Amino acid sequence: MNSYAIERVTSKNFESVWPLIHECLNSYGLARFNIPEYKAYFLQFTRSTRRGIQHLCCLDQTPIGFSTVYFTFSTFYGGRVAYLNDLYVASEFRGRGAGRALLDNVQANARSRGIGVVQWLVREDNHRAQQFYTPLDTVCSHWMRYSLRVQPSDCVE
């Protein structure tokens, strides 16, 4: 079994995780995106973990995966939830336990914050991810996700 090092993404190791984030965004079909804007977005979690946190997974000091978790609320669960937005492992390292190490870290981090539920979405055609999550102690719902684009105003909270 491989021994993975999981560490919080900070300003010091951000450039190590960025190529993985870039690969992940490409895998979502976002081949063309504003790199400085996305970097600035993800860098916010290196300064404060109140709204979200990222972790980097390394094998022999080589970055091979990461997770992005947002902390939010759910009416359905009546409290705070950790929303796993990204759990990404480079393709050549999949199936070796890195995803499980990252997911275990996500659970531990949620637990340490007093959060009892971790949620995420998986694309219907992502059968490999479904095979990864299904044997775990998870519940798969049949909710459909909708998105509505909104033109942001100049007034920001």
Domain ranges of the chain: 5-133
pLDDT in tens, the chain (157 residues): 678 999 999 999 999 999 999 999 988 887 678 889 999 999 999 999 999 999 999 999 999 999 999 999 999 889 999 999 999 999 999 999 999 999 999 999 999 999 999 998 877 788 888 888 788 888 888 887 788 888 877 665 5
What CATH code would you report for 5-133? 3.40.630.30
Instruction: Supply the pTM of this predicted model.
Output: 0.88
Give the dihedral sign, CA 87/55/83/52: negative
Query: Alpha-carbon distance 63 to 5, whole Å?
Result: 9
Query: Alpha-carbon distance 63 to 65, whole Å?
Result: 6
- Is there a contact between 102 and 7 (Cβ–Cβ < 8 Å)? no
